[in-house]
Amino acid sequence: MKTFGEFIKLKREMLGIPQRKIAAQLDIDTSTLSKIERNERKATASMLETFAFELNLELETIEYVFLKDSIYSEFDNLKFLKENLTKISKEL
């Protein structure tokens, strides 16, 4: 599975966009974006719209990758993760 950071880095590089441009739009340092891309720091939900716009992606796609990575990185060791996520999704 690609992490959110790996996904963002791949899309950014495919488009030939320098880190400094994305970082400026997010109002963060280039070093912070670099850490996000290397999975040393987590992106926040408030960054998703900017990532989607700057990387020319649908917000739904960015949210999906962000949620998937967040869930796996935090809760992958839970015994009943899939079953409980299914129940939660029905409640939503």
Model confidence band, residue 76 (pLDDT cutoffs 50, 70, 90): confident
Q: What angle do CA 47, 49, 6 make, to 5 degrees?
A: 60
DSSP state of 43: -
* Biggest CA pair distance of the chain: 41
DSSP state of 79: T
Sign of CA dihedral 26, 27, 29, 35: negative
Rg (alpha carbons) of the chain, rounded to whole number: 14
% of the chain exceeding 70 in pLDDT: 99
Q: What is the pLDDT of residue 75?
A: 93
Has this prediction a pTM greater than 0.85?
A: yes
Model confidence band, residue 1 (pLDDT cutoffs 50, 70, 90): low
Please give the CATH superfamily to which domain 4-91 belongs: lambda repressor-like DNA-binding domains (1.10.260.40)
